[in-house]
A and B are shown apart, each in its own frame.
Chain A
Amino acid sequence: MSKRLPISDIWVYLSGDPLFALIITLATYQLGYLLYVRANRHPLVNPVAISVILTCITIDVLDMPYEKYFEGAQFVHFLLGTATVALAVPIYTGFKRMQGKILHIWVALTAGSTVSIVSAVAIAKLMGASDNIVGSMYTKSVTTPIAMGIAERLNVSPTLTAVFTVITGMLGAILAPYILNTIKVQQWWIRGTAIGVGAHGLGITRAFSVNEEAGIYASMAMGLNGVISAIALPVVLSYLRPHLGF
C-alpha cells in the first residue's frame, strides 16, 4: 500500500512549478530590501547579497538542483536585457547636464575602466587564481546586466561575473567616500561619475542618497561605461587573448 502523505504531494507539486523559484527569489529580495531600508541604506546590508545567500541556503536545504531553480527564476533573469535598455534614460539625462564635459568624462571612463580590468586580472592571475576566475575579472567592472551579456559572448562564467560585480558594488559603495576624501575631490559631479564607474548600481543608490547631481552623474557613468565596454572589450580581448594564453 503506497499511501503518500498529502504534504509531500503538495511539495512535489510546488517544487515542479516555476512559481516556487520566483517566490523564493522575490521574497528573499523583499526581505533584504526591508532590512536595507531599516539599516538606513548602509551598503553592507546589501539586499542582493542577502537575497542570494538566503536563496542559496533555501535551495540547498531543499536539495533542489540549481538548474531546476533557474528554470523558474529565468523570468526574472530575462528582464536584465530590458533593464539594460532602460539605462538609456539616465545616460540621456546625464548628457543633457554635462555640456562641454563629454570628452572629459569619456577619457576618465576609459581610464578608470582600463585600470579596473587590468588591475583585477593582473592580481588574480599573479596570485594564482583559476582561469574561470581570471576570465570573470575581465567583465566584472561593467554594470551587471551588460557584464553578463558580454560574459556569455566571451565564454566566461556569467555567474562568477555577477557575483564579482555584486561584491565590487558593495566594496565600492562602502569605500568611495573615504577614497574621494583622501584625494580631496569635492565636486559632486566628479564624485558621482567615479562612483558610477567603480561601484555600479549600489554606488548609484548611495550617490543619490547623498546628492542628486552625484546620483545622476553616477547613473550616466555606469550606463556609458557599460556601453563602451560592451563594444570595446570583445575587440580588445580577441587581440590580447592569444598573447595572455587563457
Chain B
Amino acid sequence: MISGLVQLFLWQGLGELLSKFILPGIPGPVLGLLLLLGFLAFKGQVDTDLAAVADGFRQHLGLLFVPASVGVLLFLPELQTHALAVGTALLVSVVLTIAVTAIVLKVFWYFSLKRNKGTAMQREQRHE
C-alpha cells in the first residue's frame, strides 16, 4: 500500500512542478494524472500495490470532498433564494448529459455495426 501511495505522491509532485513552471493553465494533479497515464502505457501494466491504492481512492472519493462541501453553510441563504433555479438546472442538465452521451455512442455503434456487416457481406460475396 505504501509503495502505491509513494508513487501517487511522486507523480502529483512532478505534476505540481510542471504546472508551476511550464504549464500554469492546467492544475498540477491533472498533469500528474497524465504523467502517470503515460508511465502506465509505457510499462504496459498496473502493479498491484498502485491498483489497490487507486481502488481505495475511487471507492471513497466522496469522503475527500466533505470538508469543502461543509462550506455550504456559508452559502445557505443564497441557495435558499435560488433553490428552484439550482434544482431545475441540475436536474435537467444531468438528464441531458446522460441521454446525449448514450445517444452519440449508440449512433456510432449502430453505424460501425452496419459497416462491419457490409464488409462481411462483401467478403461472403467474393467467396461465392
The answer to whether residues A190 and B105 also contact, given A77-B68, A171-B91, A183-B99 and a CB cut-off of 8 A, is yes
A87 within 8 Å of B (CB atoms)? yes
Interface size class of A (residues with CB under 8 A): 35 or more
A135 within 8 Å of B (CB atoms)? no
Closest CB-CB distance, A166 to chain B, in whole Å?
6
Contact flags A172-187 to B (C-beta < 8 A → 1, else 0): 1001100110010101
* Inter-chain contact A191/B102, CB cutoff 8 Å: yes
* Inter-chain contact A234/B25, CB cutoff 8 Å: yes
C-alpha spacing A226/B30, complex, angstroms: 8
* Inter-chain contact B93/A123, CB cutoff 8 Å: yes
A60 within 8 Å of B (CB atoms)? yes
C-alpha spacing A84/B11, complex, angstroms: 11
Contacts of B74 on A, CB cut-off 8 Å?
A: 66, 159
Q: Which interface residue of B15, B29, B32, B81 has the most chain A CB atoms within 10 A?
A: B29
C-alpha spacing A34/B70, complex, angstroms: 20
Interface Cβ pair total, 8 Å cutoff: 315
* Inter-chain contact B89/A104, CB cutoff 8 Å: no
Contact flags A211-245 to B (C-beta < 8 A → 1, else 0): 00000000101010011001100110000000000
Interface of B is mostly: helix
Residue on B nearest A144 in the bound complex, by CB: B65
* Inter-chain contact A92/B26, CB cutoff 8 Å: no
Closest CB-CB distance, A20 to chain B, in whole Å?
13
Contacts of A84 on B, CB cut-off 8 Å?
A: 12, 27, 29-30, 32-33
The answer to whether residues A107 and B40 also contact, given A83-B61, A133-B86, A153-B27 and a CB cut-off of 8 A, is no
* Inter-chain contact A120/B101, CB cutoff 8 Å: no
* Inter-chain contact B41/A107, CB cutoff 8 Å: no
C-alpha spacing A26/B26, complex, angstroms: 30
Q: Which residues of B contact A (CB under 8 A)?
A: 5, 8-9, 11-12, 15-16, 25-30, 32-34, 36-37, 40-41, 46, 50-51, 53-55, 57-75, 78-79, 81-82, 84-86, 88-106, 108-109, 112
Within 8 A of B (CB), among A67-105: 69-70, 73-74, 76-77, 79-93, 95, 104-105
With A83-B58, A179-B102 given, name 15 new contacts (CB 8 A): A29-B66, A59-B73, A83-B57, A84-B27, A85-B12, A89-B50, A89-B55, A116-B94, A130-B82, A141-B97, A159-B69, A160-B75, A162-B68, A198-B101, A201-B62
C-alpha spacing A199/B95, complex, angstroms: 10
Closest CB-CB distance, A159 to chain B, in whole Å?
4
Among A26, A115, A199, A221, point to the contact of B100 (Cβ < 8 A).
Answer: A115
Contacts of A230 on B, CB cut-off 8 Å?
A: 26-27, 30
* Inter-chain contact A120/B93, CB cutoff 8 Å: yes
* Inter-chain contact B109/A190, CB cutoff 8 Å: yes
* Inter-chain contact B78/A145, CB cutoff 8 Å: no
Contacts of B79 on A, CB cut-off 8 Å?
A: 133
22 residue pairs from A and B, CB less than 8 Å apart: A47-B63, A69-B67, A69-B70, A86-B58, A89-B46, A89-B54, A90-B54, A91-B37, A104-B109, A112-B97, A124-B86, A128-B85, A130-B78, A132-B78, A133-B78, A144-B61, A145-B29, A157-B75, A185-B105, A193-B102, A197-B98, A227-B30
